[in-house]
């Protein structure tokens, strides 16, 4: 009979410091797993299994292969940050096209909304990648920088929406049935940010939520639900406002859209390559490449 031996799981004190997660005491994959071990662990209950399966397309980036080595862990997250940055640009495209308040259509903000959002992708990727170099020696600064890196493009993208929901009333505004869906999206977005920053509930009861219910799992689930409501709200706005928008504004040409996307993708790839090269060859990166596994020396001596 063909049997498959699942990879061994470790406790937090058997892991290099760079792999530690606040409040997560067990269920860690070996920090030098093979690619096959990483794939097999997707079907094994570890403290990242739910993260992997709630990550959808980015599964192969941030979680599945992040336990192959300390280098792989950081590079996987570099790629994930780039993907999230480009997601924020996609939000800007749709919000600029369908969510902009009536009275802001054709304004200066409207004309430069997408180009500024494209520039924000570089800020987001650059700050979040840089934050990983501070993770071991200055964890609080690392967390602050990474939080700012993602809050900044989120707030900018949602300026039109927040104005519509909070301050836009009267005949020349665009309040409609999509408002309720937009509110659901913002609610889950706030929950996502809270879970990312707080590490609750595992911080209150270390070890109790190692496999099910820790903040990163809940963070993914809230992000997915928020994205669902976001897409539904944009589709609703598109349906209800298409006729008015088509007579009051001229949409971006395909060539302009492609140029912005290509520029953003190329710039983010260059940033990721820069931080990867720094990680691989800079002596200053040694502080985040702590690959020593506690107990390894003792085992070899015996």
Give per-residue pLDDT as tens, 98-139. Answer: 999 988 999 999 999 999 999 999 999 999 999 999 988 888
Structure tokens at 196: 């990312």
Asked if residues 127 and 146 have their Cβ atoms less than 8 Å apart, the reply is yes
As beta bridge partners, residue 29 has 9
User: Taking 70 as the threshold, does the pLDDT of residue 296 lie above it?
Assistant: no
74-92 average pLDDT score: 94
- Token readout for 146 is 């990474």
CA–CA distances in Å: residue 265 to residues 61, 153, 184? 16, 16, 30
The whole-number average pLDDT for the span 224-252 is 91
The confidence score (pLDDT) of residue 299 equals 33
Residue 251, number of CB atoms within 10 A of its CB: 11
**DSSP-derived 3-state class of residue 28:** strand
pLDDT confidence bin for 42, thresholds 50/70/90: confident
- Percentage, residues of the chain above pLDDT 70: 90
Residue 114 has which token pair? 């997408």
Question: If you average pLDDT over residues 260-279, what whole number do you get?
Answer: 96
Which pLDDT score is estimated for 163? 92
Question: Quick one: which H or E segment has residue 265?
Answer: helix 254-281
Would you say 114 and 92 are in contact if contact means Cβ atoms under 8 Å apart?
Answer: yes
d(CA 213, CA 56): 18
Q: What is the pTM of this model?
A: 0.84
Nearest Cα residue to 118 out of 253, 256, 226: 256
At residue 279, the pLDDT reads 92
Annotated domain spans of the chain: 72-282
Angstrom CA distances, 149 to 8, 107, 122, 252, 262, stand at: 35, 27, 10, 27, 21
Per-position DSSP letters for 215-260, written without gaps between them: HHHHHHHHHHHHHHHHHHHHHHHHHHHHHHHHHH--PPPHHHHHHH
pLDDT at 301: 36
Where is pLDDT greater, at 223 or 302? 223
Crossing angle for the helix pair 70-94 and 254-281, nearest 10 degrees? 160
Using DSSP's 3-state secondary structure scheme, residue 66 falls into coil
Structure token pair of residue 195: 């879970």
Cα dihedral 266→271→272→275 (10° resolution): 160
169: Cβ–Cβ under 8 A, 6 or more apart, which residues?
A: 175
pLDDT grade, residue 25 (50/70/90)?
very high
3-state helix, strand, coil in the chain (%, to 5): 70, 0, 30
- Does the pLDDT of residue 170 top 70, yes or no? no
Q: pLDDT value at position 297?
A: 44
Cis geometry, peptide bond prior to residue 165 (ω within 30 degrees of 0): no
- Of all residues in the chain, the percent with pLDDT exceeding 90 is 61
Q: Confidence class of residue 60 from pLDDT cuts 50, 70 and 90? A: low
Q: Mean pLDDT over all residues of the chain?
A: 88
């Amino acid at each position: 009979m063909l049997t498959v031996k699942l990879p061994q799981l470790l406790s937090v004190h058997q892991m290099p410091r760079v792999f530690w997660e606040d409040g997560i005491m067990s269920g860690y994959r070996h920090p030098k797993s093979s690619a096959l071990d990483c794939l097999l662990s997707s079907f094994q209950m570890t403290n990242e299994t739910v993260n992997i399966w709630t990550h959808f397309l980015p599964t192969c980036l941030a979680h599945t292969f992040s336990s192959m080595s300390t280098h792989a862990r950081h590079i996987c997250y570099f790629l994930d940050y780039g993907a999230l940055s480009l997601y924020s640009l996609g939000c800007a495209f749709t919000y600029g096209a369908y969510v902009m308040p009536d009275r802001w259509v054709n304004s200066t903000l409207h004309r430069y909304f997408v180009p500024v959002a494209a520039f924000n992708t570089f800020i987001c990727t650059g700050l979040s990648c840089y934050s990983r170099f501070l993770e071991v020696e200055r964890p609080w600064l690392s967390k602050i920088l990474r939080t700012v890196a993602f809050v900044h493009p989120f707030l900018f993208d949602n300026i039109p929406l927040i104005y519509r929901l909070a301050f836009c009333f009267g005949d020349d505004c665009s309040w409609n049935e999509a408002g309720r869906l937009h509110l659901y999206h913002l609610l889950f977005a706030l929950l996502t940010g809270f879970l990312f920053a707080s590490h609750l509930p595992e911080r209150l009861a270390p070890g109790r939520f190692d496999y099910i219910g820790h903040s990163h799992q809940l963070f993914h689930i809230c992000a997915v639900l928020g994205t669902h409501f976001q897409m539904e709200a944009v589709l609703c706005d598109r349906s209800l406002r298409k006729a008015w928008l088509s007579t009051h504004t001229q949409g971006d040409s395909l060539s302009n859209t492609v140029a912005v996307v290509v520029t953003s993708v190329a710039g983010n790839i260059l940033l990721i390559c820069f931080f990867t090269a720094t990680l691989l060859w800079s002596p200053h990166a040694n502080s985040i490449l702590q690959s020593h596994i506690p107990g390894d020396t003792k085992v070899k001596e015996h």
